[in-house]
Amino acid sequence: MTHARFQEGRRDFLVKSAAVSGGLMVGFHMPAFAQAAGSGPEVTHWVVIQPDDTIIVRIARSELGQGTFTGLAQLVAEELDADWSKVRSEYADVNMHIKRNKIFRDMSTGGSRGIRDSQEYVRQGGAAAREMLIAAAAQQWGVPASECKAEKSVITHPSGRKTTYGKVAAAASKLEIPKAPKLKDQKDWKIIGTSPARFDIPEKTNGKQVYAADVRLPGMLHASIVQVPVFGGKLKSYDESRVKGMRGVKKVVAGEDWVAVVADNWWRANQAVKALPVEWDVGENGNVSSESIMAFLRTGLEADNVPVARKDGDVESAFASAARIVEAEYYSGYLNHATMEPQTATALFTDDRLEVWCGTQNGEATIAAAAETAGVPLDNVYVHKMHAGGGFGRRGPHQEYTKQAVKIAQAMPGTPVRLQWSREEDMKQGRYRPVSLVKVRGALDKDGNWIAWSARQADQSIIATVRPTMIKDGVDPINTRCFVDNPYKVANFLNEYAMRQTHVPPGFWRAVAHTNNPFVRECFIDELAHAAGKDPYQFRRPFLEGKKDLGVLDAVARAIGWEKPAAKGVHRGIAVVDSYGSYTAAAVELSVEGGTVIDVRRVVVAIDPGHIVHADAVKAQVEGGIIWGLSAIMHEEITIQDGRVVQGNFTDYPVLHLAEVPPKIEAIIMPTGGFWGGVGEPPIGGVIPAINNALFSATGKRIRSMPLKNHGFSYKT
């Protein structure tokens, strides 16, 4: 059942390949988690227990830095009553998963689902294993299982008998898996809710972590690719005679809309692919620009009969009777995931067997894409999952990098080929957070009470491209979030959705619609508050009565000292956003120097995810979410000219620099229990609007489009 041929019988594997001549030779150790399935008896498919009491927990989701590799193991270990010091994690083998009829359930990692969607069944796996181990010991001792106790991998009986999990694992593995194992009460949790040392962090900090880009195999070659610069176009022709003679070049392989050069090292492959004369058929979209896209979006705002996503009360009458009406338009542009590790996959095709190494967010998507591309049955495909160098939603649903690597490997059977996109390709061939233009209107009565509002979105749908049957009557259920599911109890509300699809491929950017829609909603609510002459925090509160949103909003207001005057020159902003099952709020303190330099002093984000598994991981996700939001609002934008993406590297698509990080970023983690919310994306929601609201307080300028650099702003460093 071992999946990686070359790894059979080996733990450490050092590669020095004669084929890699003249290039940088890298000694390479196969990381522990990527080895052949840890040997030892399975006590349920979730857990392998070795005779020395080492417990290997199989992880189906992907580690993107968000902590699933450790968190999921904590859930299992808790119910298993394991000695945590002997627990380690390993990725569940994708091929095994297929052969055993998807026994590891869902491998996709996205939507902040890794813990909350898995927790019940992985805990049941741990609990079942525990019952099996106890039953095996009880059987050996000839005593009732109910008289035995298990704690920290040790089973005891009042008679004085004692054994360990490792000693009874083999016997336990033969027993039937209990169908309804008993789960612990929250009050008995000893591992869930703590912060054990994470399994992935040491290697991420000492340089030892092997990313897909680092994979080196004997005889491996390297490929760099160029794809049609205008989305939707095709490859017309290329002249390989011009590169065939270049040093190290082995082969040129082409697809429908791409060409790749394979060479003995990546630098040479990339030099060659840049020198390769290529003719593209750019198709219909060669004239599209950011300006033409804006005009196109505007037709959505001006259309008749725009599909209705939600309608409460009677907005028209409320507006007709309003004392004051506020209207605004907000725009959000394209953003790229810009993962530090560019899209990369290694593939090896031999006879009818295919192996792929990549940092995928979804092992199942990779195995399906690889099998379909190669025309090989799923059973013959082996996916080696690696920790991703940033995922953020880029590496799950979009498997082009896998398909390309497989196609190239098929052209060179028996030779492993590592395809790595150049930074330029990664920037220009993204799957972008889509554009949107939103017209919001709000109505106040004579006392400044909020009586109605509406949001009409002209918006590019992601789901229409990957799962069109989810669109009902023209409404996208994902991109209307924050409006269609907003928590504010206002009697009259209308949300309309005008889909406007461009040729730019959309994708799920970390937090998806909760990156741009909160910018609109929470900033506009501030506009209403100011029009009413009311404090933005107090303005919101009555409409959130009874909602969990109020808890986190109050928490950040308290933490930032909202009710007390700010220091001279310091201004505050606040926002509240729930997403992916969790409730968050953000409060910000900043000052502005010279009218344009923003000095963010303090960002506080509160999150209520119901339960938490790894306390420090949650804190890290909040801090990372704050960084994500700060970067997006100031720096990031992808623009289109002549149908193609303009930006090509971090020089023209900057992300937040270390020097720009505020001196104080704080996480308030306040799980109220009773539900399981996500943590990877929710912290981001309130950050962007809170910054923009504070900026208004500081400058009197209401900004309604991102990034702030386009309005002349910069961060203080």
Partner 1 sequence: MTSRIGPARIRMPAQAKPGEVFEVRTMVEHPNESGFRHDNLGRPIPRHIVTSFECTYNGREVFSAKLHPAISTNPYMTFFVKAVDSGEFVFTWKDDQGGVTTVTQAITVA
Partner 2 sequence: MKRHKHDSHDSYGSHDRHVAGRRRALQALAAGACLLAVRPALATPEELAVALKETFGDREIRRGRVKLEIPRLAENGNIVPTVITVDSPMTEQDHVRAIHIFSEKNPVPRVLEMRLGPWNGKAMVSARIRMAQTQQVLAVAEMSDGSVWSAAADIDVTVSSCT
Give the interface with partner 1 as residue ranges (CB under 8 A).
299-300, 303, 307, 461, 464, 468-469, 471, 474, 497-502
Q: Which is nearer to partner 1, 448 or 474 (CB)?
A: 474
Please report how close the Cβ of residue 462 comes to partner 2 at its closest, in angstroms.
8
Sheet holding 47-49, edge to edge: 47-49, 55-59, 87-91
Range 668-697, binding partner 2 (CB under 8 A):
none
Tokens, residue 277: 């004369």
* 178-184-190 Cα angle (round to 5): 125
Residues in contact with partner 2, total (CB under 8 A)? 37
**Residue 501 interface partner, choices partner 2, partner 1, none, CB cut-off 5-8 Å depending on type:** partner 1
The answer to whether the CB of 693 falls within 8 A of the CB of 626 is no
Instruction: Single out the residue of 308, 378, 566, 646 in contact with partner 2 (rule: CB under 8 A).
Output: 378
By CB neighbour count within 10 A (0-12 exposed, 13-18 middle, 19+ buried), where does 241 fall? Answer: exposed
Contact region with partner 2 (CB under 8 A), list: 106-114, 344-352, 439-447, 568-576: 106-114
Range 532-571, binding partner 2 (CB under 8 A):
none
Instruction: Single out the residue of 393, 430, 643, 689 in contact with partner 2 (rule: CB under 8 A).
Output: 393
**Residue 707 interface partner, choices partner 2, partner 1, none, CB cut-off 5-8 Å depending on type:** none
Please report how close the Cβ of residue 297 comes to partner 1 at its closest, in angstroms.
11
Please report how close the Cβ of residue 118 comes to partner 2 at its closest, in angstroms.
10
Q: Which is nearer to partner 1, 461 or 516 (CB)?
A: 461
Instruction: Single out the residue of 71, 110, 359, 707 in contact with partner 2 (rule: CB under 8 A).
Output: 110
CA atoms within 13 A on the CB side of 153: 23
Q: Which is nearer to partner 1, 165 or 483 (CB)?
A: 483
Contacts of residue 527, defined as CB under 8 A and 6 or more positions apart, other chains included, come to 326, 328, 442, 702
CB contact burial 487-512 (16+ within 10 A = b; e otherwise): bbebebbbbbbbbbebbbbbbbbbbb
| Structure-derived torsion over alpha carbons of residues 232, 236, 240, 242, reported in degrees to the nearest 10 | -100
Residue 43 to residues 56, 61, 130, 399, 481: CA-CA distances in angstroms? 10, 20, 9, 33, 42
**Residue 430 interface partner, choices partner 1, partner 2, none, CB cut-off 5-8 Å depending on type:** none
The answer to whether the CB of 265 falls within 8 A of the CB of 222 is yes
* Three-state secondary structure readout of 339-360: CCCCCEEEEEEECCEEEEEECC
Q: Is 365 a residue that touches partner 2 (CB under 8 A)?
A: yes
The answer to whether the CB of 130 falls within 8 A of the CB of 182 is no
Instruction: Single out the residue of 333, 389, 396, 682 in contact with partner 2 (rule: CB under 8 A).
Output: 396
Contact region with partner 2 (CB under 8 A), list: 62-70, 331-339, 464-472, 686-694: 464-472
- Residue 313 DSSP label: S
Please report how close the Cβ of residue 398 comes to partner 2 at its closest, in angstroms.
9
CA separation for the pair 38, 50 (Å, rounded): 9
Please report how close the Cβ of residue 292 comes to partner 1 at its closest, in angstroms.
13
**Residue 462 interface partner, choices partner 1, partner 2, none, CB cut-off 5-8 Å depending on type:** partner 2
The residue behind tokens 């208004």 is: 696
Please report how close the Cβ of residue 274 comes to partner 2 at its closest, in angstroms.
30
The answer to whether the CB of 75 falls within 8 A of the CB of 119 is yes
Contact region with partner 2 (CB under 8 A), list: 226-234, 460-468, 553-561, 612-620: 460-468
Contact region with partner 2 (CB under 8 A), list: 45-53, 101-109, 551-559, 664-672: 101-109
Q: Is 463 a residue that touches partner 2 (CB under 8 A)?
A: yes
Q: Which is nearer to partner 1, 496 or 660 (CB)?
A: 496
Q: Which is nearer to partner 2, 240 or 372 (CB)?
A: 372
Q: Which is nearer to partner 1, 54 or 465 (CB)?
A: 465
- Residue 130 DSSP label: H
Please report how close the Cβ of residue 451 comes to partner 1 at its closest, in angstroms.
30
For residue 622, the cross-strand partners are none
- Longest Cα separation, the chain: 83
* 385-208-33 Cα angle (round to 5): 35
Instruction: Single out the residue of 42, 117, 425, 496 in contact with partner 2 (rule: CB under 8 A).
Output: 117
Contacts of 117-123 spanning 24+ positions with Cβ under 8 A: 118/60, 118/61, 118/72, 118/75, 119/75, 119/611, 119/613, 119/676, 122/46, 122/72, 122/75, 122/76, 123/75, 123/76, 123/78, 123/79, 123/183
Q: Which is nearer to partner 2, 157 or 481 (CB)?
A: 481
Q: Which is nearer to partner 1, 452 or 498 (CB)?
A: 498
Q: Which is nearer to partner 2, 148 or 369 (CB)?
A: 369
Instruction: Single out the residue of 52, 485, 593, 642 in contact with partner 2 (rule: CB under 8 A).
Output: 485
- Name the E strands within 445-504: 450-459, 492-499
Contact region with partner 2 (CB under 8 A), list: 84-92, 314-322, 367-375, 700-708: 367-375
Please report how close the Cβ of residue 547 comes to partner 2 at its closest, in angstroms.
17
Q: Is 467 a residue that touches partner 2 (CB under 8 A)?
A: yes
Instruction: Single out the residue of 388, 462, 490, 555 in contact with partner 2 (rule: CB under 8 A).
Output: 462
Q: Which is nearer to partner 1, 275 or 295 (CB)?
A: 295
The separation between CA 391 and the C-alpha centre of its own chain, rounded to angstroms, equals 5
3-state secondary structure of 224: strand
Cis-peptide, bond into residue 178, ω within 30° of zero: no
CB contact burial 285-299 (16+ within 10 A = b; e otherwise): bbebebeebeebbee
Please report how close the Cβ of residue 368 comes to partner 2 at its closest, in angstroms.
4
Site of interaction with partner 2 (CB under 8 A): 98, 101-102, 105-106, 108, 110-111, 117, 121, 362, 364-365, 367-369, 371-372, 377-378, 393, 396-397, 399, 462-463, 466-470, 472, 477-478, 485, 508, 512
